[in-house]
């Protein structure tokens, strides 16, 4: 037997068929037709029969003739689950599809738009950094003049970071750039890849939307997708198909393969603006999360950084800085460390609560944080977005960071929080 063979596993109670993933000393793993893996203790397996020897399916490039009556969309591939298939050597999924293979898998896209496709990177999103954001932005600018919109296929783990980064980098953008991912790999029957891509192309083809957005499943079913704001959207579940939600705001539109329903009117429209690239520079930005039993050394470690994001408690993004008894002596040291650091570099407060706005005027701790120069008061930015914004400002407007951090530049700060988020 070898990985990929179709086998039947005979146990004392049943016979189960699937593709062999791995056969080790004590365990055998097969992939069922449903896409799920099943593991057996070899001591409980009577025998294994090969039903069909695995033969790799060689895919031919899929060429589609352009239609004059359709808009043209460029799909830039960066890898991730949306561009993944099963690896019978490792038992998991690996980036493997070329752009042509992805088009071959989802031919229905060609009936909505003329599709162009190019591979930028074939990588997992957790391996991305600021240099990759710059690379993707440059690739977008190469094509933006010659197409009606761009889709960036992306791994979901850091899709929100990249969306925020592109919204800041692409200054003056007046065409749609949608980031699209998939929670289930394209080889699985429950994959959301095709539906997300189809809704994204539909939205570009039939709307006047002209900024960076995210297009992902609205529910667990293949009914609707949402087009969500780049700087206000977060992945809130590890595996559900409706993992992405808008925080402190609303989606721009609900999309099906047949319809588009706008939920907001305050979005950038398609125009003839010229995109200017405001790229990231090699800045060092730290991120420190408040937790019980903190030590001042944790703050001091960032003394050589260019900026620091604080993810604090509650409404004020509070940190443990108050000495109230003999057991909180370290809190005074934390306060002094923050005071020294905030004079040296921009230090920005956000909150761990996800929903709501930072208000440092409510409690004395917040007022003390303001007094030593910590930024972020009245902002409702996601910590991820605040991190990206701080790094981008340090890269492009280092002398104005303290003023611009609290200004709404790309929809990252809500003027008002609607009733459901109060």
The answer, yes or no, to whether residue 249 has pLDDT greater than 80, is yes
Which pLDDT band holds residue 333 (cuts at 50, 70, 90)? very high
Could you tell me which residues come within 8 angstroms of residue 157 by beta carbon, excluding any fewer than 6 positions away? 80, 124, 125, 126, 235
Phi, psi of 382 (to 5 degrees): -60, 145
Query: What residues does each domain of the chain span?
Result: 6-52, 72-277, 285-404
N-terminal to C-terminal alpha carbon distance within the chain: 60
> Beta strand pairing status for 114-119 and 72-77?
parallel
- Using DSSP, state whether 140 is helix, strand or coil: helix
**Fold for the domain defined by 285-404:** Rossmann fold (3.40.50)
Fold matches, 72-277 and 285-404: yes
The answer, yes or no, to whether residue 97 has pLDDT greater than 70, is no
Say what the pLDDT of residue 364 is. Answer: 95
Could you tell me which residues come within 8 angstroms of residue 57 by beta carbon, excluding any fewer than 6 positions away? none
As a whole number of angstroms, the distance between CA 278 and CA 193 comes to: 31
As a whole number of angstroms, the distance between CA 168 and CA 136 comes to: 13
Class of the 6-52 domain? Answer: mainly beta
Mean pLDDT of the chain: 90
The pair of three-digit structure tokens given for residue 407, joined into one six-digit string: 């200004």
Least confident of 18-27, 94-103, 211-220, 325-334: 94-103
In 236-315, beta strands by DSSP E: 244-246, 253-255, 260-262, 276-277, 285-289, 307-312
| Percentage of residues in the chain having pLDDT higher than 70 | 90
The answer, yes or no, to whether residue 400 has pLDDT greater than 80, is yes
CA-wise closest residue to 277 among 127, 139, 152, 394: 139
In the chain, the largest separation of any two C-alpha atoms, in whole Å, equals: 77
pLDDT digits (tens, 9 = 90+) for 22-80: 888 889 988 888 777 899 999 999 999 999 998 866 655 556 678 889 999 999 999 87
As a whole number of angstroms, the distance between CA 64 and CA 110 comes to: 7
The answer, yes or no, to whether residue 91 has pLDDT greater than 60, is no
**Fold for the domain defined by 72-277:** Rossmann fold (3.40.50)
- Positions annotated as catalytic residues are 81, 156-157, 235
Phi, psi of 409 (to 5 degrees): -100, -35
Say what the pLDDT of residue 419 is. Answer: 57
CA-wise closest residue to 336 among 384, 378, 299, 293: 299
As a whole number of angstroms, the distance between CA 5 and CA 30 comes to: 9
Phi, psi of 289 (to 5 degrees): -100, 130
Say what the pLDDT of residue 365 is. Answer: 96
Please state the rounded mean pLDDT for residues 354-376.
95
CA-wise closest residue to 312 among 278, 338, 336: 338
Could you tell me which residues come within 8 angstroms of residue 247 by beta carbon, excluding any fewer than 6 positions away? 232, 233, 234, 354, 355, 382, 421
pLDDT digits (tens, 9 = 90+) for 114-168: 988 888 988 889 999 999 999 999 999 999 999 999 999 998 999 999 999 999 9
How buried is residue 262: exposed, middle or buried, by Cβ count under 10 Å (0-12/13-18/19+)?
middle
């Amino acid at each position: 037997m070898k990985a990929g063979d179709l086998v039947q596993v005979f146990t004392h109670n049943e016979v189960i068929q699937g593709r062999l993933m791995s056969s080790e000393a004590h365990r055998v793993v097969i992939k069922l037709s449903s896409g799920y893996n099943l593991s057996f203790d070899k001591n409980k397996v009577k025998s294994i029969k090969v039903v069909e020897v695995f033969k790799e399916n060689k895919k031919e490039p899929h060429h589609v003739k352009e239609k004059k009556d359709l808009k043209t969309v460029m799909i830039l591939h960066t890898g991730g689950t949306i561009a993944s298939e099963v690896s019978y050597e490792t038992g998991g999924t690996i980036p493997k599809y070329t752009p042509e293979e992805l088009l071959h898998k989802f031919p229905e896209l060609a009936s909505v738009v003329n599709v162009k496709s190019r591979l930028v990177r074939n990588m997992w999103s957790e391996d991305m950094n600021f240099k990759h954001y710059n690379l993707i932005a440059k690739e977008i600018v190469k094509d933006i003049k010659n197409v009606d919109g761009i889709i960036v296929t992306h791994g979901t783990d850091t899709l929100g970071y990249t969306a925020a980064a592109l919204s800041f980098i692409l200054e003056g953008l007046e065409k749609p750039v949608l980031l699209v991912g998939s929670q289930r790999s394209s080889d699985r029957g429950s994959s959301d890849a095709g539906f997300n891509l189809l809704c994204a192309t539909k939205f570009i083809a039939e709307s006047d939307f002209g900024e960076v957005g995210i297009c992902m499943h609205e529910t667990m079913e293949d009914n609707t997708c949402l087009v969500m704001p780049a700087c206000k959207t977060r992945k809130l579940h590890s595996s559900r198909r409706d993992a992405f939600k808008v925080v402190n705001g609303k989606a721009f539109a609900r999309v099906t393969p047949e319809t588009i329903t706008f939920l907001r009117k305050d979005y950038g429209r398609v125009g003839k603006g010229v995109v200017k690239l405001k790229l990231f520079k090699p800045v060092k930005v730290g991120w420190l999360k408040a937790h019980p039993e903190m030590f001042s050394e944790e703050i001091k470690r960032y003394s050589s950084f260019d900026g620091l994001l604080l993810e604090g408690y509650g409404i004020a993004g509070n940190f443990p800085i108050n000495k109230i008894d003999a057991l909180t002596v370290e809190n005074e040291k934390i306060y002094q460390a923050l005071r020294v650091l905030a004079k040296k570099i921009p230090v920005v407060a956000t909150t761990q609560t996800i929903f709501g706005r930072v208000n440092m005027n409510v409690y004395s701790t917040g007022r003390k944080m303001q007094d030593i120069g910590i930024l972020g008061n009245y902002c409702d930015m996601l910590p991820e977005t605040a991190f990206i914004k701080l790094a981008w400002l340090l890269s492009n407007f280092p002398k104005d960071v303290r003023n611009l951090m609290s200004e709404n530049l790309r929809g990252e700060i809500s003027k008002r929080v609607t009733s459901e988020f109060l």
